[in-house]
Amino acid sequence: GENVEQHPSTLSVQEGDSAVIKCTYSDSASNYFPWYKQELGKRPQLIIDIRSNVGEKKDQRIAVTLNKTAKHFSLHITETQPEDSAVYFCAAIRFSGGSNYKLTFGKGTLLTVNP
C-alpha cells in the first residue's frame, strides 16, 4: 500500500522567514496531493492541493511543488506569521473513478512561528 513520509515533524521559524515541509510517497499511481492545516483544538482544513499533471501551484503566501519522478511534494510558506502556527498534514490520494479512492496521510509537522 501507499506510504507517505513527512518531514520535519517539528519546525520552528522566526516571523517573516519561510517554512518548507516535505513529503514523499511510494505509490506512483497517486494523483492528487492535498495539504491540511490543523490549528490547536480544531479540525484539519484543506489549504492547498495539487494534481499530478501540475508541477507547482501557488495561493498567496503558500505554494506546493510536485516532483512525480522523485515522488515527493513540498509545502512552502513565505513571510510566515504567528497565525501560521499549526500542525500541517500532507496526503497522497490515488483516485481512478468510482470507488477506486485511496488516501494516506503523513504524520504531520508542528510549525511554530515565533514573533
Partner 1 sequence: DADVTQTPRNRITKTGKRIMLECSQTKGHDRMYWYRQDPGLGLRLIYYSFDVKDINKGEISDGYSVSRQAQAKFSLSLESAIPNQTALYFCAIRTGMNEQFFGPGTRLTVL
Judged by the rule CB under 8 A, the positions of this chain that interact with partner 1 are: 6, 9, 32, 34, 36, 42-46, 49, 89, 91, 93, 95, 99, 101, 103, 105-108
How far CA 37 is from CA of 25, 53, 69, 114, in Å, comes to: 19, 23, 26, 18
Q: Which is nearer to partner 1, 32 or 71 (CB)?
A: 32
Least distance from C-beta 79 to partner 1, angstroms?
26
Q: Which is nearer to partner 1, 73 or 89 (CB)?
A: 89
Residues 6+ apart with CB under 8 A from 110: 9, 10, 11, 86, 87
Q: What is the CA radius of gyration of the chain?
A: 14
Strands 109-114 and 10-14: what pairing? Answer: parallel
Least distance from C-beta 40 to partner 1, angstroms?
12
Q: Taking the chain, what is the end-to-end CA distance rounded to the nearest angstrom? A: 41
Least distance from C-beta 24 to partner 1, angstroms?
15
Least distance from C-beta 104 to partner 1, angstroms?
8
Q: Which is nearer to partner 1, 27 or 49 (CB)?
A: 49
The conformation of residue 28, written as its DSSP 8-state character, comes to T
Q: Which is nearer to partner 1, 74 or 94 (CB)?
A: 94
